Amino acid sequence: MRFSEYEAWLAAEVANAPLEPDSVQIGPFLTPTVVPDKPPWQMEWTVLFADGHYFRVVENWFRRSSSFGGYGCRRAFSFHYGPTNTAKDNDGVPLPSNKFPAIIRIDQDVDWRGPHLHYNGEDHVQQSRVQNLRISDVEPLQFVRAVMEHRRTHQDFDQILHFTVTK
């Protein structure tokens, strides 16, 4: 994907995101990390809710080789939803803390952990234990819509996203 295509897609998706009226958005920030309008880039978007919860979605896109056109490909991401830490960074984004564990976090790391979930109090649930959801295919707005449905209906995320975690 080209940076300009991603930027247009993100703007349209965020404009149509079903956010609560009293929520506070920080971002989305779309930052090329080397050369403007080319990979790699990073996207960060945080939304704070009035009830003390928040979501944060982060994606890291890297340059594919020239033989594949040199476009960007998503290699790492973290989608987090949970209670808000009162300690925040300079942008107002809650700082990570074990005192405020995620209700759900969906990650794909570039290290040995690869795609995994943090769910129901369990950390690093590997893809091999997750059925009916390919973690590496989860998109940020799919996650945001799941958060909003959870907030509206109080259904668990495994019901909303139709996955099962095995033992």
Query: What is the secondary structure of 46-110 as a DSSP string?
Result: EEE-TTSEEEEEEEEEEEPPGGGTT-EEEEEEEEEEEEPPS-B-TTSPBPP-TTS--SEEEEE-S
**Cβ atoms of residues 56 and 44 within 8 Å:** yes
CA distance 143 to 163: 13
pLDDT value of position 69: 56
3-state secondary structure (DSSP) of residue 119: strand
Looking up tokens 């996207």, which residue turns up? 43
With beta carbons less than 8 A apart as the criterion, state whether 102 and 118 touch.
yes
Please tell me the predicted confidence (pLDDT) of residue 38. Answer: 65
Percentage, residues of the chain above pLDDT 90? 72
> By mean pLDDT, which of 33-42, 47-56, 145-154 is the weakest?
33-42
- The pTM of the full predicted model, rounded to 2 decimals, is 0.89
For residue 44, give the nearest of 61, 63, 29, 65 by alpha carbon.
29
Q: Which helix (H) or strand (E) holds 140?
A: helix 140-153
> What is the tens place of the pLDDT at every residue in 87-109?
999 999 999 999 999 999 999 98
